[in-house]
Structure 1
Amino acid sequence: MKAVPMVEFWRGGMLESLHYGHAVICDASGAIVEAWGDPDAVIFPRSSCKMLQALPLVESGAADALGVGPSRLALACASHQGAAVHSDLVTRWLGDLGLGDNDLRCGPQMPRDADAMKDVLCKGESPCRIHNNCSGKHSGFLTLARHLKSGPEYHEVDHPVQLAVKQAFEEVTGLGSPGYGIDGCSAPNFATTVHGLARAMALFSAAHEGSDTRSRAAARLVAAMTAFPELVAGEGRACTNLMRAMGGKVAVKTGAEAVFVAILPENRMGVALKILDGGGRASEAAIVALLIRLGALDPGHPVVKEYLTGPLTNFAGQAVGERRIASGFAA
């Protein structure tokens, strides 16, 4: 099966851009409820799978042994923008481990947060690793490495941390990963299918009903994400805005190259989608359309206008175009 049209962008009465993709909705059993495009398309989930990468942190007992509470668990699942609320929490977390910025392997990144960026530039400083959008995930990796009494190169694919991540990843997606790529933060990113990723999200959606170790771990991660949406992304970001709009009832997470997932505990469903051309604004529109379809997001909420139904404006504030959901998708 081929990718299908999902999101259109119009300007001057003409179709300017058309974004194709794949999307899957799964129930708690892992069965496909609805799908568009090819459920078996193999993708890199990128940062959309951070809650999967954080499972060993909780399952192993490392989180409890080393004082990783809900706010830090949310940060372990985050692609944050390096605001003070993010970098300060990472700094304290590392400090509690007796570690610092140089122990992170994610590389330095200029903060996306405007105030944090201004602070770095005005002081004539260079950005740090704590500003990296994945520094929370890497703090979780360091915590697990400490618990496992393993070496400092936790980002290497044959390190015990990444071996634990791969095992958890394959178990919750229900598939052996066909390979991996190195993510922007230097950690392995294991490939899976769109169906596999949606299956994993569905497992997380029903985790609150289980009493086994994995279910308890997954439920804690979902609860952390929905309790601290500002830590998962940041002010003005789609993940944070959408979780707030749904009142903490749904967890959503984006990934680079236009991947988006959703965990819906009340529906006991999981969603995964991938826009083929990597257009992030298209993946935001697509996930909003699916959340509305599933009854999780009020179509009249202002956030819907921001990411889907509102006009495209220019720098002068003029309405110059519009987004449309392509015919046949999420109708």
Structure 2
Amino acid sequence: MNNNKAAVVTYRGGSVENLHHANVAVVDASGKLLYGFGNPQRMTLARSAAKPAQALAVLEAGAFERFDFDEADLALMCASHSSEPRHIERTLAMLGKIDLTESSMRCGGHPPISDAVYKDWIKRDFTPTAACSNCSGKHVGMLGAALALGQTAENYESPDHPLQRHVKAVVADLCDLPVDGVEWATDGCNLPTPAFPLDRLARMYARLASAADLTASGEIASERTEALAKIYRAMTRHPEMVAGEGRFCTELMKAFDGDVVGKLGADGSYGIGIRASEQTLRLGSDGALGFSVKVEDGNIEALYMLVCEILERLQIGTSQQRGLLSAFHRPKMINTMKREIGHAEFSFELQKP
């Protein structure tokens, strides 16, 4: 597969301004590579796109039963949220369920992803705290999991903490890799973050969608499949918790009305899970489908354009559903005087391996 050709090219007037190189992997529910571009096996830091796998570790630790977390709480554990009042309020309520305070959270406050929230904070001279972190749900989930495992919550973010060893084992197993087949670094929110081949990220999301299909059919499923389906339902039923007002992840899952799950990872990674349909069958999968993307320069706008273009080329959903994402697919490139001054073109082809 071509590792040198750009996936997205942006123009200012008739001149090339930016070349965005990217890697794409499209897999079936068994993890078989169906289509790709660039290097589908690129070792990739999934960043927040790995949050559903980390949430699975929280579920399998028994935190939900012990602390009575609900579906919206689970969605927030998978979130990179906009620090809207609903996100902060739910974080604090979740802390109350585990009888801890913000002082136990090992993440810091930061400027919000949402411009509207940022303007509000500036007007109020508001200083963000740990509960305002876009990863706050994941941190409270991790705290609950540590306690559910009978461990101390202190230093729960440490790679050597029993909780993080549990998380590493779950993530590796979900990706069909040995524990030492996953590399670990430290994320922006201070928790360990995994790196693994890009097609394994697609596999993870295909498994989420496949689990949703299996449990919806009424078939007897394993505990893990039930847990994955629970995560899928939480994210697709509460998309406003996963990102926020006007954000891509939220709008994507609203547009496809439960048939697609998706999650952003910082610096240009994305994971998509697609439930089984006639179209996934035509694409060569006998069930659910997953795809993952990594944009080499980390450009998030180019990432969203590329994800939308792949959905278009794979003909996922209806044209009306895909059209709801047009502002992300082909965003208008305008200057301060509202003049359109450029455009983007997609210069990649999905290839069978």
Q: Tell me if TM exceeds 0.5.
A: yes
User: Unpaired segments of 5 or more residues in structure 2?
Assistant: 216-220, 281-287
Note if contact 1:79-1:233 (Cα within 8 Å) is conserved in structure 2: yes
Partners of 1:49 and 1:284 lie apart in 2 by 17
Note if contact 2:62-2:149 (Cα within 8 Å) is conserved in structure 1: no
Range that drifts further, 147-156 or 220-229: 147-156
Q: For 1:37-52, what aligned pairs fall within 5 Å after superposition?
A: 37-52=38-53
SS at match of 1:185: coil
Partner residue, 1:311: 332
1:103–1:156: structure 2 CA closer, same or farther, 3 Å change rule?
same
- Residue 292 in 1 paired to residue 312 in 2? yes
Note if contact 1:46-1:189 (Cα within 8 Å) is conserved in structure 2: yes
Note if contact 1:5-1:329 (Cα within 8 Å) is conserved in structure 2: no
Partners of 2:139 and 2:112 lie apart in 1 by 16
Partners of 1:162 and 1:308 lie apart in 2 by 37
Partner residue, 1:190: 194
How much has 1:184 moved relative to structure 2?
Answer: 0.0
Partner residue, 1:129: 130
Render the CA deviation track for 1:196-223: whole Å, top value 9, x for unaligned: 1111111112113161111111110010
Q: Which amino acid aligns with 2:310?
A: L
Note if contact 1:79-1:133 (Cα within 8 Å) is conserved in structure 2: yes
Partner residue, 2:211: 207
Note if contact 2:55-2:77 (Cα within 8 Å) is conserved in structure 1: yes
- Residue 323 in 1 paired to residue 344 in 2? yes
Partner residue, 1:259: 269
Range that drifts further, 308-317 or 112-121: 112-121
Note if contact 2:26-2:34 (Cα within 8 Å) is conserved in structure 1: yes
How much has 1:117 moved relative to structure 2?
Answer: 3.1
Q: Which amino acid aligns with 2:100?
A: L
Partner residue, 2:18: 17
How much has 1:178 moved relative to structure 2?
Answer: 4.3
How much has 1:110 moved relative to structure 2?
Answer: 2.4
Render the CA deviation track for 1:144-195: whole Å, top value 9, x for unaligned: 0111121221111111221111111111111233421100000111110001
1:213–1:122: structure 2 CA closer, same or farther, 3 Å change rule?
same
SS at match of 1:82: coil
Q: TM-score, normalised by structure 2?
A: 0.89
C-alpha RMSD of matched pairs (Å): 1.9
How much has 1:124 moved relative to structure 2?
Answer: 3.0
1:43–1:66: structure 2 CA closer, same or farther, 3 Å change rule?
same
How much has 1:115 moved relative to structure 2?
Answer: 4.9
Partner residue, 1:101: 102
SS at match of 1:43: strand
Range that drifts further, 102-111 or 230-239: 102-111
- Residue 237 in 1 paired to residue 247 in 2? yes
Note if contact 1:5-1:326 (Cα within 8 Å) is conserved in structure 2: yes
Pairing partner for 2:175 from 168, 173, 176 = 173
Note if contact 1:83-1:112 (Cα within 8 Å) is conserved in structure 2: no
SS at match of 2:337: coil
How much has 1:114 moved relative to structure 2?
Answer: 4.2
Range that drifts further, 63-72 or 292-301: 292-301
In percent, how many aligned pairs have the same letter? 31
Range that drifts further, 272-281 or 319-328: 319-328
How much has 1:263 moved relative to structure 2?
Answer: 0.8
1:220–1:15: structure 2 CA closer, same or farther, 3 Å change rule?
same
User: Unpaired segments of 5 or more residues in structure 1?
Assistant: none
Range that drifts further, 277-286 or 298-307: 298-307
